[in-house]
Structure 1
Amino acid sequence: MKVLVYSAKDFEIRNLKKMNGNKHNIKFVPDTLNATTAVMAAGYDAISIFSNDDASLVVLEILWELGVKYITLRSTGYNNVSVKSAKRIGLKVAYAPEYSPNAIAEHTVELILALNRKLIKANTQVNQYNFLLDDLVGFDMKGKTVGIFGTGRIGSILVRILHAFGCKMLATDIKRDQYLEHHYDLEYVPLEELCKRSDIISINTPLNYETHHCFREPLFLTMKKGALLVNTARGGIVKTEDVISALNNGSLGGYATDVYEHERGIFFKDHGKTGLKDELLKELIAQPNVLLTPHQAFATNEALERISEITIYNLDCWEEGKNCPNELGFESMTL
């Protein structure tokens, strides 16, 4: 099968080549998929895309006209794909489920600890030979209430990790995990109650119509004063303007995030020489109680190997005419 890999990054190309061997004819390009770059797929049977690629209806129609039949994502989230449109057109779409929920959950804990104990500020001070502790005081995790918005694969691991810290665990999800309830004293509550009671809130739910801008001003106003919010899910779940306002008025104590709602075209690139044009992102980064990492939660050796393995497996299934278990069930897809 002839395959074009969009948004190919140096740190993942090696694994993809290794997993592929000589099975598929793969070309790697750094370009992100959009209505302009879609023409690059002319003559290819399949493409592979990442979470920041644009696979909206217009782009899918171009791909289909060019002869592309398959799309395999190198991510678990697929909110960037107009999947119902793909079905209608005839494109098959598969994703990379469960490649490493541990990587995301562990990064979430890292963000919580770094934000709470002000590790970035401490490192900056020490590099300036400033060893004062006045602005570096945090709090004990033990005894604190942590709210987990979404107890799927990632959220359930996070519950286990934070329970070991001695935290009181709350959760909001449309489906309750009885194992977590019985073994980790997890209490399911409505989202507003979770926000009212939690010292720390972690977002671990997919982005869809219901969760888009779920965290905005009305919800921030219900939170404990000084609460920390952590987002390793999708940027669009949080309304950035409102989180900045909540930080400025003190209703939110800090925000740690690995994602940003307008990150497409910004993340995974070096803007050191050109600077940023996104004024909202610049304002967010400038906040003293914000910790932002560049969508790196997934980036572990184990996760990258697994993503490559799943990506090639999806292509193998289509090449051999087999049912692909990772092909998205269209009845549950979001637009």
Structure 2
Amino acid sequence: MTKKIAFFDTKPYDKKSFDEANKDFGFDITYFDAHLNAHTAPLSAEHDAVCAFVNDVIDSDVIETIANNKIQILGMRCAGYNNVDFKAAYEKLHVVRVPAYSPYAVAEHTTALILSLNRKTYKAYHRTRDGNFSINGLLGFDMHGKTAGIIGLGQIGKCLVSILKGFGMQVLAYDLYPDEAYAKEVGIEYASLEEIYKRSDIISLHCPLSKETEHMIDADAIDIMKDNVMIINTSRGKLIDTEALVRGLKAGKIGAAGLDVYEEENEYFFEDKSLDLIKDDTLARLLTFPNVLITSHQAFFTKEALHNIAQITLNNFKQFFENGDLNNEVCYDHETIKEK
């Protein structure tokens, strides 16, 4: 019997990539535009699995509804899973994810944010379209010889190392599990968070969100950073205390910020709000800074990444339904979340 999967928070590009990939799997997919939350969870009835995304709310109420609908697997079509209540899901729901879809996509978008902020290409674009060919106020700096601090040296962080080393930058890295052989091979230095904050001209975040990393960039961290530091976040919004970031920008301590994520992004990112009033005062404030560049969680958004996300997500479901061997399961055990 063909297995039915309920997809939530789907956009046209999701449907296109999953329909193409599903030719090799043969699932019966129902696409829902709405986010998965307590109000929409009943739509999972008469399905065999649920697929969700980064801004869906998968709390205890949602999990109870899904479980009551006899669904045993939730597939996250992303790497992150901080929006899942694993305590509620324990022994009720298997949770799988896409641990790696294209580290190049995220690292390259990170670089795009750095270059755009440094050389102010986003300002130049609007100027020249208005017939203003002045370069006053567009002064940047040579990246060659500057120091970049990369926090989180997984696949994305390592891709970014390659790019920034190509610019001739010195690279400092922080990771809970240092790969000293890799560091020696590519010529980078592992450092403490405090050292990275003090020495880096550019700081880029590539670590997961956890209790330990939430608001790791706070007022205290910003205070010890270099003046005019550039902060880039293409990982998770809550890694940064946004109120502290705003204060740092207003004080001139932070020279520029590139954000592909935002800690209260759920209501806005991936949606067209161009005709609506932005009620989030902090987000509205950030959008007024000329040295802040915000993109809407698009770092992952390449053809290759979408293809890989669809293939891995559907294969996760196939593994569950055929043999129960889940290579990409995230498990919960005694207050600990463990990735396979």
TM-score tier after normalising by the smaller chain length: over 0.9
* Structure 1 residue 255, shift from structure 2 partner: 0.4
Moved more, 256-265 or 35-44: 35-44
Q: Counterparts of 1:261-300 in structure 2 under 5 Å? A: 261-300=263-302
Report if aligned partners of 2:6, 2:44 keep a CA contact under 8 Å in 1.
yes
Residue 333 (structure 1) aligned with residue 330 (structure 2): no
Match of 1:23 among 5, 23, 26: 26
Partner Cα separation in structure 2 for residue 179 and residue 203 of structure 1: 22
Partner Cα separation in structure 1 for residue 267 and residue 69 of structure 2: 24
Residue 226 of structure 2: aligned partner: 224
Partner Cα separation in structure 2 for residue 87 and residue 108 of structure 1: 35
Consecutive unaligned residues of structure 1, counting only runs of 5 or more, are: none
Give the TM-score of the pair, scaled to structure 2: 0.95
* SS of match in other structure, 2:329: coil
Give the letter for the 2:48 counterpart: D
Residue 52 of structure 1: aligned partner: 55
Partner Cα separation in structure 1 for residue 328 and residue 182 of structure 2: 26
Report if aligned partners of 1:149, 1:205 keep a CA contact under 8 Å in 2.
yes
Partner Cα separation in structure 2 for residue 61 and residue 192 of structure 1: 42
Residue 148 of structure 1: aligned partner: 150
Residue 320 (structure 1) aligned with residue 322 (structure 2): yes
* Structure 1 residue 66, shift from structure 2 partner: 2.0
Show CA shifts across 1:103-153 (max 9, x none).
001100110000111111111111111111110000001000000000011
Partner Cα separation in structure 1 for residue 59 and residue 337 of structure 2: 13
Paired residue total: 333
Partner Cα separation in structure 2 for residue 69 and residue 43 of structure 1: 12
Report if aligned partners of 1:156, 1:180 keep a CA contact under 8 Å in 2.
no
* Structure 1 residue 275, shift from structure 2 partner: 2.6
* Structure 1 residue 237, shift from structure 2 partner: 0.5
Show CA shifts across 1:248-272 (max 9, x none).
1011111001000001121111011
Match of 2:65 among 62, 67, 73: 62
- After TM superposition, where is structure 1 displaced by more than 4 Å over at least 4 residues in a row? none
Moved more, 264-273 or 172-181: 172-181
Residue 38 (structure 1) aligned with residue 41 (structure 2): yes
Partner Cα separation in structure 2 for residue 188 and residue 219 of structure 1: 18
Report if aligned partners of 2:95, 2:331 keep a CA contact under 8 Å in 1.
no
* Structure 1 residue 319, shift from structure 2 partner: 1.6
Show CA shifts across 1:87-108 (max 9, x none).
23x2111001111111001100
Give the letter for the 2:261 counterpart: V
* Structure 1 residue 45, shift from structure 2 partner: 1.3
* SS of match in other structure, 1:256: strand
Show CA shifts across 1:165-185 (max 9, x none).
110010111111223311222
Match of 1:77 among 76, 80, 83: 80
Residue 157 of structure 1: aligned partner: 159
Residue 310 (structure 1) aligned with residue 292 (structure 2): no
Partner Cα separation in structure 1 for residue 246 and residue 267 of structure 2: 22
Residue 15 of structure 2: aligned partner: 13
Partner Cα separation in structure 2 for residue 180 and residue 114 of structure 1: 29
* Structure 1 residue 194, shift from structure 2 partner: 0.5
* Structure 1 residue 68, shift from structure 2 partner: 1.6
Partner Cα separation in structure 2 for residue 195 and residue 14 of structure 1: 42
Moved more, 304-313 or 15-24: 15-24
Partner Cα separation in structure 1 for residue 294 and residue 187 of structure 2: 31
* SS of match in other structure, 1:286: coil
Report if aligned partners of 2:77, 2:310 keep a CA contact under 8 Å in 1.
yes
* Structure 1 residue 3, shift from structure 2 partner: 0.7
* Structure 1 residue 329, shift from structure 2 partner: 3.5
Q: Counterparts of 1:191-210 in structure 2 under 5 Å? A: 191-210=193-212
Partner Cα separation in structure 2 for residue 84 and residue 187 of structure 1: 38
Partner Cα separation in structure 1 for residue 254 and residue 245 of structure 2: 8
* SS of match in other structure, 1:246: helix
Residue 94 (structure 1) aligned with residue 75 (structure 2): no
* SS of match in other structure, 1:205: coil
Residue 132 of structure 1: aligned partner: 134
